[in-house]
Amino acid sequence: MFIQACETMGGANNICTDKTGTLTKNQMAVTSLFIEENMHTHIDPKNIRESTLALFCEGICTNSNALPKITKTSFEHGGNKTECALLEMAYKFGFNYEKYRPSDKIKKVIPFSSLRKKMTVVYQIDDDVVRVFSKGAPDVLLDRCSEYINNEGMKSK
């Protein structure tokens, strides 16, 4: 049986395994989250302020190129596996990326580049509110932050 499996996999370019060598489903999942100055290893949206969660998931849904397929019974990853993991988490929190994309509210997308180490999207909420969401390398993004949402839900410096 093992020999047959190896022969079948003879044309594979990449094989993903966990530390025990068990083959995986080529999917990623969010297993912990640092938000509002707290580390969550059991991610429960009830432990995050609604306003913070909405802003967080809006950023995830708008600032992504992945196009997973969502049915009543499944969430099939399609595209970048990291983006799909984030979109699946947002979906479990009640935010479906399909509501945000494609959208005339997305005014500009600056794709990820290894030089910039980030991806950015400009999203027009309404006539008076524009949000800019960036994701990427923490060493690049944190240096550019002037505020963050603390554990009291307030913007801090």
Instruction: Identify the structural domains of the chain with CATH numbers, from first to last.
Output: 26-156 (3.40.1110.10)
Q: How confident is the model at residue 156 (pLDDT cuts 50, 70, 90)?
A: confident
Q: Provide long-range contacts, Cβ within 8 A and 24+ apart, for 40-46.
A: 43/89, 45/92, 45/93, 45/94
Residues labelled catalytic: 18
**What is the residue-averaged pLDDT of the chain?**
86
pLDDT digits (tens, 9 = 90+) for 90-136: 999 999 999 998 889 999 999 999 999 999 999 999 999 999 999 99
Cα angle, residue 102 at apex, residues 99 and 106 outer, rounded to 5°: 100
**What is the identity of the amino acid at 51?**
S
Enter the pTM of the model: 0.79
Cα separation of 98 and 134, whole Å?
19
Q: Give residue 67's pLDDT.
A: 93
pLDDT digits (tens, 9 = 90+) for 42-98: 999 999 999 999 999 999 999 999 999 998 888 988 888 889 999 999 999 999 999
Question: By three-state DSSP, how is residue 70 classified?
Answer: strand
Higher pLDDT, 140 or 15: 140
- Please check the confidence at residue 2 and state whether its pLDDT lies above 90: no
Instruction: Give every CB contact of residue 52 below 8 A, 6+ residues apart in sequence.
Output: 35, 36, 149, 153
Q: Give residue 3's pLDDT.
A: 44
CA distances (Å), 20 to each of 5, 10, 13, 17, 24, in order? 17, 21, 20, 7, 11
Let me know how many helices (H) and strands (E) the chain has, helices first.
4, 9
Cα separation of 100 and 84, whole Å?
15
